[in-house]
Chain A
């Protein structure tokens, strides 16, 4: 087994090793142990390897991930999987704010709760949260799907573009230009596939769908109160 003890190996060396693995590496699985909330851990990965972060971790864990699967066996700080391009990041615990911020692809699964601004400015990522998300989640969300099995805080989907939001529980309030939309059989099927892919056991028929009213896409004076 390939493992790093973070009390003995500096994070710089860990990241450099993981980032420099060749495409055909047979060192596919890595474990990072004895963590102390390091920031920028396992960032900038580019190969289809599997990295297990065995403990709590700081900001920007798995940031800008490409192809790798990163599993965080603990809680994580701000901006987990920010700007992820592809691959999968799974948080076994809870995630702080801005989880999956601006991420363009891949799958982010948070098995606990996520803080405020989950999926802010998301650009194509799929995010599945088994618990609840905080206020201002999916703010300016451009594309991709945010699935919340619990509740969503205030101003969900404020100024949303084309992202799809699914919430099973209560939504405290919707943000500007975010509305509830019809949950068609097509959406139920798509959501069901995404939940299955995320390994989350939930009934897609119990979710409500939200998206953009598209009334703010081009400025109109009658909408001035919303700007």
Chain B
């Protein structure tokens, strides 16, 4: 029928069966396997963009933007550890494995973090000499799989992170497909070369908070009570998870929202399990405050941190520091527009590339292909990361000074308002222009 006909109506896409949903059904029917990808949740969720700082006014006066001191240092692990970690900036690098990332990428992360006086973190598969050698402060993860777990490396670490979950897939284990299980990766993990490796989703030798407390004691006994012990959880039940981590003896709680990335997981898992980080911070802080542990057990949050405003908002809501993963990879060169021609060949485009599990990353970051990995210069990439971390820090200071704070940790919920009812309820701050905090006193 002609579009000039009075009976003509334009084609109408379903809101329910939209083109993406149709493509997913068609892909599933054709392949018989769920869609796997890297990265975090891509759907729109309430986030830090839904919050604003109020800045100074008659009742609050600002600090001179470029001259007055605004501290950024943070100490993690002051509760029990003999040797807490002292960081110069409140931004750390989240756990990412050698295996998921190339050796050069891990080295670059270490170089960039070290240049800015902050820490980086191992991942599933253990600690590599390159990573230890280029990271002045290295957090060693104890994961359910225990791939590459080694007491010598445990003692070499500056802190230990017991990983219970991560924001992209709380309740799920890791995944590293055969394309990336090279001989070196396989040897570190004690697995056959080329298999699809699926990590365990829960720890093999403890099952609840009482056991976790004993596990943490064991780790402390093995490391002479020197190392700060972090407990990392995916954002699901942040109030109770934080309280239980404190009860179990954690020095630091790491809370990862659903926007936090993963090397490879099912799309349906990434998009439909867990909470946005915005909804998780205030309950976690409340748990610490209820236990009189706020600032005694430090809180590190992650999942979708992009700029200094995001960092400042996390700190204002009560976090002690943030961790970045996806943003750090972008700083190294992931999804760079200059690689557009190669992304096109992979059926994607710069800014949307997320098939990190396939090991074909043209940026040489999420790959184990020697030729691709060699494309990433760890010195230059490390410098880019250091630049980015410096900007994050300066942006955080700019906002803190505008709010009249001489240290970024002096930012507080009173500095914030929310643009939407949802974000006001999740962040526990007033809806802009009102004194209404939806859901106050209840979680």
Interface residues of A (CB under 8 A from B): 11-12, 15-16, 19, 39-40, 43-44, 46, 58-60, 63-64, 66, 78-79, 82-83, 85, 98, 101-102, 104, 117, 120-121, 123-124, 139-140, 142-143, 161-162, 217-219, 221, 224
Is B218 in contact with A40, judged by CB distance below 8 angstroms? yes
Whether A15 and B146, one on each chain, are in contact in the complex, defined by CB atoms closer than 8 angstroms, is no
From known contacts A16-B224, A221-B33, infer whether A83 and B206 are also in contact, taking CB-CB under 8 Å. Answer: no
| Complex Cα–Cα for A120 and B205 (A) | 8
Docked-complex contact B214 and A219, CB < 8 angstroms: no
Is A219 touching B33 in the complex (CB atoms < 8 A)?
yes
Q: For B175, give the chain A residue with the smallest CB separation.
A: A219
Contact of A60 among B32, B146, B195, B218 (CB under 8 A): B218
B45 at the interface (CB under 8 A from A): no
Q: Which residue of A lies closest to B32 (CB)?
A: A221
Q: B residues 123-166 with Cβ under 8 Å of A?
A: 145-146, 149-152, 154
CB of B178 closer than 8 Å to a CB of A:
yes
Whole-angstrom distance between the alpha carbons of A83 and B154 in the complex?
A: 12
Q: Assess whether B178 is in contact with A218, with CB atoms less than 8 Å apart.
A: yes
Known contacts A63-B222, A161-B192; decide if A79 and B151 are in contact (CB<8 Å).
Answer: no
Once the chains bind, are B151 and A85 in contact (CB under 8 Å)?
Answer: yes
Could you tell me the distance in whole angstroms from the C-beta of B25 to the nearest C-beta in chain A? 16
In contact, B191 and A161 (Cβ under 8 angstroms): yes
- Asked whether B196 lies within 8 Å of A15 as measured between CB atoms, the reply is no
Known contacts A40-B217, A60-B214, A124-B190; is-contact A19 B205 (Cβ 8 Å): no
> Do A15 and B195 touch across chains, with their CB atoms under 8 A apart?
no
- B217 lies within 8 A of A120 (CB): no
How many residues of chain B get a CB closer than 8 Å to chain A's CBs?
Answer: 31
Closest 7 A/B residue pairs (Cβ): A221-B32, A44-B222, A79-B205, A40-B218, A102-B146, A64-B151, A217-B195
Q: Are the CB atoms of A58 and B146 closer together than 8 Å?
A: no
Contact B221 A40 (CB under 8 A): yes
Q: Could you say which of B191, B205, B224, B225 contacts A82, with CB atoms under 8 Å apart?
A: B205
Does B10 touch A at the CB level, under 8 Å? Answer: no
Which of chain A's residues have a CB closer than 8 A to the CB of B145? 121
Shortest beta-carbon distance from A56 to chain B in Å: 15
Q: A113 CA to B353 CA in the complex, in Å?
A: 52
Q: Which residues of A contact B195 (CB under 8 A)?
A: 161, 217-218
Task: Give the nearest-CB partner of A117 in chain B.
Answer: B204
Min CB gap B163→A, angstroms: 14
Q: How far is the CA of A208 from the CA of B35 in the complex (A)?
A: 40
Asked if residues A102 and B205 are in contact (CB atoms below 8 Å), the reply is yes
Contact A217-B196, Cβ < 8 Å, known A101-B204, A120-B205, A124-B190: yes
Asked if B215 and A19 sit within 8 Å, CB to CB, the answer is no
**Alpha-carbon gap, A70 to B194, bound state (A):** 37
> Which residues from A are CB-within-8-Å of B151?
44, 46, 64, 66, 83, 85
The residue in B178, B206, B221, B225 that gathers the most chain A C-beta atoms within 10 A of its C-beta is B221
A195 to chain B, nearest CB (A): 24
| 15 further interface pairs, Cβ-Cβ under 8 Å (given A44-B221, A64-B154, A162-B192) | A12-B225, A19-B224, A44-B151, A46-B151, A64-B151, A83-B149, A98-B205, A102-B204, A104-B149, A121-B204, A139-B204, A142-B191, A143-B190, A218-B194, A221-B31
In the complex the two chains form, is A120's CB within 8 Å of B204's CB?
yes
Give the residues in chain A near B33, CB-CB below 8 Å: 219, 221
Given A43-B222, A142-B190, A217-B195, check contact A83 B146 (CB 8 Å): yes
Known: A59-B211, A79-B205. A102 touches B149 (CB 8 A): yes
Q: In the assembled complex, how far is the CB of residue B143 from the closest CB belonging to chain A, in whole angstroms?
A: 10
Chain A residues in 8 Å Cβ range of B205? 60, 78-79, 82, 98, 101-102, 120
- Tell me the smallest distance from the CB of B430 to a CB of chain A, in Å: 47
Please tell me if B200 contacts chain A, counting CB pairs below 8 Å.
Answer: yes
